[in-house]
């Protein structure tokens, strides 16, 4: 039996040592006590040197994606030790013995002793320096394409304004000079101009909100902080209507996502709630973990939704003719915010929906996304 256990242990050791993934183990104090061959190659220093270092050693020269100093409390080891929960895809750069820093993606999980007490952390590390360069190149190409679309749209719009302007002038001031057939043609020209103008507006809107492959730009994000940032950014709008914002969210709610895209969704949903809630109203924001997902909800006591409106909410250019008694409620919008939010959430492997008991009974907008999704 001992021979069998020794054999199994040897096999596991060989698997870990020859793994194409960098594996690093730290003790409860945060000192590296093991690194496999791949990890040593990624980190670029000798095995003896690695095992002398702490997770937050100044020699690492740890920086975030923008080159700023990284808070020690936000490093994978510190988060795992404080929460006893795994973390995924945390990105930061380190300085190796080479001339240039490298960018790492780190997953980490707690190691517990026989009594269930914290005993260290195991990490898998990946050098994503080249991936980041590829992502930046792709971003530049997207920006170039967006700029090209914007310029093309502008160049189309300029002569279109002239065509429509002269057509309107002919129909308004010289109508009696034309036959019915000519007038009909002028109306066709006007309708064609309006349709083309709408198409150009659509191109411009979509160029402003690029929805790229969601695997790019994903990182470990504290959703709680992102929500608070969104609320703070719209503070002037809530104060203008004397709205009360109630936050029911945990302090640390980590999720792997595209930070900018999810921040855009939060902004869209909060703006929507503010616009549709009367003065002195209440908006409640709640988040919680459900299995391997994060559930977000924002509830207002505003104008509410009919069943028909709920069916069309997330369609592009959705607008509703609603009679609003309260003049402080603003239902104007592009009709694209919720549509784009739905695309973002779907690209994150999640779902978004709305609930309401009817007109003037408020509404709840909810979305659910996986905590981590490959």
DSSP character string of 13-69: HHHHHT-SSEEEEEETTSBEEEE-HHHHHHHTS-HHHHTT-BTT-GGG--B-TTSPB
Residue 264, CA distances (Å) to 103, 149, 289 in order: 26, 22, 21
Q: In this structure, what DSSP letter does residue 97 have? A: S
The predicted pLDDT at position 20 comes to 82
The helix/strand/coil state of 264 is helix
What CATH code is carried by the domain that includes residue 261? Answer: 3.30.565.10
The predicted pLDDT at position 204 comes to 66
Pairing of the two strands 282-290 and 293-300: antiparallel
Does 122 share its domain with 155? no
Does 79 share its domain with 223? no
What CATH code is carried by the domain that includes residue 121? Answer: 3.30.450.20
Residue in the block written with tokens 């979509």: 206
The predicted pLDDT at position 323 comes to 47
**Cα separation, 338 vs 364, whole angstroms:** 13
Residue ranges of the chain with pLDDT lower than 50? 1, 211-214, 321, 323, 325-326, 374
DSSP-assigned beta bridge partners for residue 248:
286
Our measurement of the distance from residue 9's CA atom to the centroid of its chain's CA atoms, rounded to an integer in Å, reads 42
Closest listed residue to residue 338, CA positions, set 361, 360, 309: 309
Residue in the block written with tokens 């019915």: 180
**Cα separation, 66 vs 30, whole angstroms:** 25
DSSP-assigned beta bridge partners for residue 112:
118
**Cα separation, 33 vs 119, whole angstroms:** 12
The predicted pLDDT at position 330 comes to 54
Residue 145, CA distances (Å) to 258, 291, 344 in order: 21, 40, 20
Judge whether 213 lies within some domain.
no
Does 76 share its domain with 147? no
Contacts of 111 (CB under 8 A, 6+ apart): 25, 118, 119, 120, 121, 122
The predicted pLDDT at position 3 comes to 54
pTM of the model: 0.47
For the chain, the domain total comes to 3
Q: Tens of pLDDT along 110-123?
A: 999 999 999 999 99
Does 19 share its domain with 72? yes
Tokens of residue 97, six digits: 């013995």
What CATH code is carried by the domain that includes residue 148? Answer: 1.10.287
Does 223 share its domain with 354? yes
Residue that finishes a domain, picked among 127, 143, 177: 127
Contacts of 226 (CB under 8 A, 6+ apart): 259, 262, 263, 266
Q: Tens of pLDDT along 149-163?
A: 767 776 777 788 788
Task: Give the structural domain span for 197.
Answer: 133-208
The predicted pLDDT at position 193 comes to 85
The predicted pLDDT at position 326 comes to 46
The predicted pLDDT at position 369 comes to 95
Helix (H) or strand (E) holding 266: helix 259-275
DSSP-assigned beta bridge partners for residue 199:
none
Number of Cβ atoms within 10 Å of the Cβ of 87: 24
């Amino acid at each position: 039996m001992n021979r069998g256990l020794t054999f199994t242990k040897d096999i596991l050791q060989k698997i870990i040592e020859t793994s194409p993934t960098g594996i690093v183990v730290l003790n409860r104090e945060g000192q590296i006590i093991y690194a496999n061959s791949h990890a040593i190659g990624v980190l670029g220093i000798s095995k003896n040197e690695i095992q002398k270092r702490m997770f937050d050693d100044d020699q690492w020269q740890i920086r975030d994606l923008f080159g700023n100093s990284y808070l020690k409390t936000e490093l994978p080891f510190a988060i795992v030790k404080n929460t006893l929960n795994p973390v995924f895809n945390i990105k930061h750069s380190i300085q190796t013995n080479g001339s240039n820093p490298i960018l790492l993606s780190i997953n980490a999980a707690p190691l517990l002793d026989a009594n269930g007490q914290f005993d260290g952390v195991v990490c898998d590390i990946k050098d994503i320096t080249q991936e980041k360069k590829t992502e930046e190149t792709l971003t530049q190409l997207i920006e170039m394409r967006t700029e090209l679309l914007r310029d093309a749209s502008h160049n189309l719009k300029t002569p279109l304004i002239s065509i429509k302007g002269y057509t309107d002038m002919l129909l308004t001031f010289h109508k009696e000079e034309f036959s019915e057939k000519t007038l009909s043609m002028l109306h066709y020209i006007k309708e064609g101009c309006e349709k083309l103008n709408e198409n150009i507006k659509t191109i411009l809107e979509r160029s402003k909100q690029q929805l790229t492959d969601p695997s790019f730009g994903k990182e470990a994000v504290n959703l709680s902080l992102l929500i608070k940032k969104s609320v703070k950014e719209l503070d002037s709008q809530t104060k203008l209507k004397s709205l009360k914002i109630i936050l029911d969210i945990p302090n640390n709610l980590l999720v792997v996502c595209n930070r900018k895209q999810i921040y855009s969704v939060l902004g869209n949903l909060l703006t929507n709630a503010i616009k549709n809630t009367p003065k002195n109203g209440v908006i409640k924001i709640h988040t919680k973990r459900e299995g391997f997902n994060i559930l977000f909800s924002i509830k207002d006591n505003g104008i509410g939704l009919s069943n028909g409106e709920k069916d069309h909410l997330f369609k592009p250019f959705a607008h509703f003719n609603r009679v609003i008694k309260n003049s402080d409620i603003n239902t104007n919008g592009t009709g694209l915010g919720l549509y784009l939010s739905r695309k973002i959430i779907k690209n994150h492997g999640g779902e978004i929906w709305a609930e309401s008991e009817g007109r003037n009974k408020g509404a709840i907008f909810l979305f659910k996304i996986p905590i981590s999704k490959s």
